[in-house]
Structure 1
Amino acid sequence: MSKKAGGTKIQQIFVNLPVKDLDQSMNFFEKIGFTFNPQFTNESAACMVMNEHIYSMLQLEDHFKTFTNKRIIDADKGTEAIFSLSVSSREEVDELVEKAFQAGGKPSTEPQDHGFMYQRGFQDLDGHLWEVFYMDMNAVN
């Protein structure tokens, strides 16, 4: 199912995130199962592949600043966004979040079970918030 936004079909998404230490961030996300596209990775930024349509550009803060006139928030003190990842089962929720904890991430919320939806959250090394959830569409009223 593809929907159009303003008449334009969105094909991919690239979420740009400022990071303090690119190597540490790449190592963290590799430990939880993501890969990097070396074609779009250098000493200032890395293209993290989440799947064939979803990517995150991890950028050193100084490099990230070249794309905006706004100040970068300290994600340990404030939140601008929560990045939600849908997975195929409750077990995958637990698996991904536990990998994040083992790689140095911190809990951000308590697990929530809404019957039709199960979710858990973690903070990455830079304090960005990630939510992993499974939604049983057969149980949605």
Structure 2
Amino acid sequence: MLNPAPQVVIIPQQEPRHVSSTIFISLPVRDPEASGAFFTRIGFAPDADFTGGDVVSMLVGGGIHVFLVAEASFRRATGRAVADPGRCAEVELAVQVESRARVDAIADAALAAGGAAAGGRDEPGIVFRRGFRDLDGHLWAVVHMG
């Protein structure tokens, strides 16, 4: 018996699609309540719908949620050790805002709430950026494009 010739299937090119309109970012933190208070002070909105137990949820905007998860719970959920953001860079979380003044307002509020400046202030042309570290040392940037 002869093997039939394989058929070639041509898949038409499709426009790129967004996978989801909601993003959930889980960050391990020492104290979810204190971290929630920090992010409230810089303008993120507490989200009671996803807050409970060892998790405080913050709504950044536009369907982006940050889950502030107690380190022990994060470790159990992932089965992995928690990186020390004070010693190593795990990720930089960047938030785009509508103006340079808003960049300054958020970065200044982060410093006043106990965060630390990180990366200085960039003005290389169309991007205006300021970075900070939150209470646990996670690296954030606030940017304005234009």
| Deviation (angstroms), 1:74 | 0.6
Instruction: Work out whether 1:46 is the aligned partner of 2:56.
Output: yes
| Deviation (angstroms), 1:60 | 0.2
Indicate the SS of the match to 2:84: coil
| Deviation (angstroms), 1:71 | 1.1
For the 8 Å contact 2:115–2:132, the answer to whether it is kept is: yes
* Alignment equivalent of 1:82, drawn from 92, 95, 110: 92
Gaps of 5+ in 2: 1-15
Q: After TM superposition, what 4+ stretches of structure 1 lie above 3 angstroms from structure 2?
A: none
Q: Paired residue for 2:42? A: 32
Q: Paired residue for 1:139? A: none
Determine which structure has more spread, i.e. the larger CA radius of gyration.
2
Q: Paired residue for 2:123? A: 113
Whichever structure has more strand as a proportion of its residues is: 1
- For normalisation by structure 1, the TM-score amounts to 0.88
| Deviation (angstroms), 1:65 | 1.3
Q: Which amino acid aligns with 1:85?
A: V
CA distance in 1, matches of 2:103, 2:47: 24
Q: Which amino acid aligns with 1:122?
A: F
Indicate the SS of the match to 1:76: coil
Q: Paired residue for 1:4? A: 17
Q: Paired residue for 2:5? A: none
| Deviation (angstroms), 1:92 | 0.8
| Deviation (angstroms), 1:66 | 2.2
CA distance in 1, matches of 2:145, 2:48: 33
- Of all paired residues, the percent bearing the same amino acid is 34
Q: Paired residue for 1:91? A: 101
| Deviation (angstroms), 1:33 | 1.0
Deviation track 1:13-59 (CA, whole Å, cap 9, x = no partner) reads 00100000111101101111112111211130011111141100110
Q: Paired residue for 2:3? A: none
CA distance in 2, matches of 1:89, 1:22: 29
Aligned residues: 132
